[in-house]
A and B are shown apart, each in its own frame.
Chain A
Amino acid sequence: MTRKATRLTVEGLFAGYGRIEVLHGLSLAVAAGELLAVVGANGAGKTTLLRVISGLLPARAGRVLLDGRAVTGIAAEKLASAGLTHVPENRLVFPGMSVADNLSLGAYSRRRGSGQAVEQDRRFVLDLFPRLAHRLAQPAGTLSGGEQQMLAIGRGLMARPKALLLDEPSLGLAPKLVSEIFAVLGSLRDQGDLATVVVEQNARAALRIADRAVVLDRGRVLLSGTPKALLTDPRVQAAYLGRGYTEVAP
């Protein structure tokens, strides 16, 4: 099996807020065409990890590499044009702006590039999420939760990322919508060039499509391996796949 080049690498990452240290020397790597699931309990540091990778939060130590280039310390607004896209927790769509404007702002980092390529990607996103196509003029704040999640992902894709970070894309969605969204993530991965990191509380859904997964525990990687191995690991079963676990999300 030929392994694809590593797209995103995190090495010995330390980060936190004020006096609290949340990540204690965390490392992971994702290849192009690979989907990595990051699971872990509330407060394990999953969101913090993504915030550090995308430059929203400074790392205290350690490195983040994108295609072998160190991007640690680069501000989020600059990293966006380097091919790293972060679809944040709680979607954070631009509520007062139309679906169309939200999508076109997703391509803001490409505003000096080809308008034709952006238009192509817009069509691609609307094909992925046909519901959005019917609501282009609607203010994003009036979309349903699921539609907002689709918009947030679509907006992220408009940047044409090389690495895509998703923070709890299933949060608050009905099971049917969850599978819809994960199917889209799987198909994006299958196109072969995108490295995807999906942070999920809904471990089952994430592990179903992931190539590899890591279990985060209090800011450290507790376990990592194939979904199959993790699903059968008694520690994972006890902690993350217990009965009722998937109902935890509001």
Chain B
Amino acid sequence: MTGPWPPTSRTVRDRGVIDFLQLTVAGLSAGSAYGLVAVGFVTIHSVTGIINLAQGEFAMVAAFVAIALLAAGLPLPIAALLAVLVVALGAAAVERVAIAPAAGSSVVAYIMLTLGVSITLKASALLIEGPQPSALPAFTPGILSFGGVLVRPQDLWILAATAVAALGLYGFLERTVTGKAFRACAEQPTAARLVGISPSRMSTLSFVLAGVVGAVAGVASSPVIQTDWNIGLFLGLKGFVAASLGGLASIPAAIAGGLLLGVVESLGAFYISSGLRDAIAFFVLIVVLVARPSGVFSTHAGVRAGVRAH
């Protein structure tokens, strides 16, 4: 794919509408990646009180793993699924190796640990992959046209992957015993321990879930946004902004926040200035911070106690 996306259709009479729709679809596509990354922030924060600064790197690593597996000759669907699995396990390892041993630390110390993980993953990617970006091929090639509105099939793939991941997560949390235990641990950690739910296991699980959603975002969006060693910074930042819209506490709000941010970015970049694209997330963040500063950085003490208690 070359040239800026979406191509703006200046020759069509009702180009205004078509531009708007194309920009909206592109925004929803980018926004669902933000939304998935945001969900990762929420799952970890709700159970551990930690803001995981390596969340964007989960997406970056998954994309690189998928690219490598594809290059090694595996079919794309297998490479994509394996990449998600690898990152899910990797996220569990991060929690066991970097987070769990620090039991008893302050939340700030935990956040610093995740920053260390983030830097390590970025540096490793730079070392292994070099500075140039690479990308997965689009899952299906070509361009679709809906009454003149051009849509990349990959945008639909991203939306579908997001829907599947979100519904899967919803089903897990609402319908399974372990999912309910996870929610119980987020809601009322002391009572959760008293019924036999291990906070340290739930902490590991929160990283696994964050790894899965982050990996899906990274793999599905790679054909569109290109993957480089630093892409996690942008995905992580925008995911964090999206998550903070819902106070870092609600999964549906995190996804809605991601979609909203993606669309606002896409429209803002076109109608106001393309230089604004990345600044928009910061504006939103500032507005959220001013409007509800406690909502963003509130960490419930009991939750931390739960992690600490190992």
Contacts and interface: CB of A to CB of B under 8 A. Distances in A.
Interface in A91-148: 92-97, 101, 104-106, 108-109, 111
Contact of A93 (B188, B196, B198): B188
Interface stretch (B87-95, B175-183, B208-216): B175-183
Interface string B180-193: 11011001101111
A95 B199 contact: no
A105 B195 CA distance: 7
A72 interface: no
Contacts of A77: 192-194, 196-199
Given A88-B190, A94-B188, A109 B183 contact: no
A159 B195 contact: yes
Contacts of A75: 193, 198, 309-310
Given A97-B180, A97-B184, A106 B195 contact: yes
- Give the bracket for the number of chain A residues in contact with chain B: 20 to 34
From B196, B197, B198, residue with most partner A Cβ within 10 Å: B196
Given A95-B188, A108-B177, A86 B194 contact: yes
B45 to A, nearest CB: 16
A54 interface: yes
A101 B199 contact: no
Given A77-B197, A159-B196, A96 B183 contact: yes
Interface centre among A54, A85, A97 (most CB of B within 10 A): A97
Nearest to B177: A111
Contacts of A94: 183-184, 187-188, 191-192
Contact of A80 (B177, B187, B190, B196): B196
Nearest to A55: B193
Contacts of A76: 193-194, 309
A212 interface: no
Nearest to A76: B193
Contacts, number: 74
B180 A92 contact: no
Given A77-B199, A93-B188, A105 B180 contact: yes
Contacts of B183: 94, 96-97
Give the size range of B's interface with the partner.
10 to 19
Interface in B10-26: none
For chain B, what secondary structure do more than half of its interface residues adopt (helix, strand, loop), or is it mixed? Answer: helix
A173 interface: no
A94 B195 CA distance: 11
A81 interface: yes
Contacts of B190: 56, 88, 92
A54 B191 contact: no
Contacts of B199: 77
A155 interface: yes
Given A75-B309, A94-B183, A105-B181, A155 B188 contact: no
Contact of B194 (A56, A96, A101, A111): A56
Contacts of A156: 194
Contacts of B197: 77, 105, 108
B195 A109 contact: yes
B180 A101 contact: yes
B184 A54 contact: no
Contacts of B193: 56, 75-77, 80
Task: List the 5 closest A-B pairs by CB distance, nearest first.
Answer: A109-B196, A80-B196, A92-B191, A76-B193, A77-B193
Given A96-B183, A109-B195, 14 more contacts: A56-B190, A75-B193, A77-B192, A77-B193, A77-B199, A80-B193, A80-B196, A88-B190, A93-B191, A94-B183, A97-B183, A97-B187, A104-B177, A108-B196
16 contacts: A56-B193, A56-B194, A75-B193, A75-B198, A80-B193, A80-B194, A85-B194, A92-B188, A92-B194, A94-B192, A95-B188, A97-B184, A108-B196, A109-B196, A111-B177, A155-B195
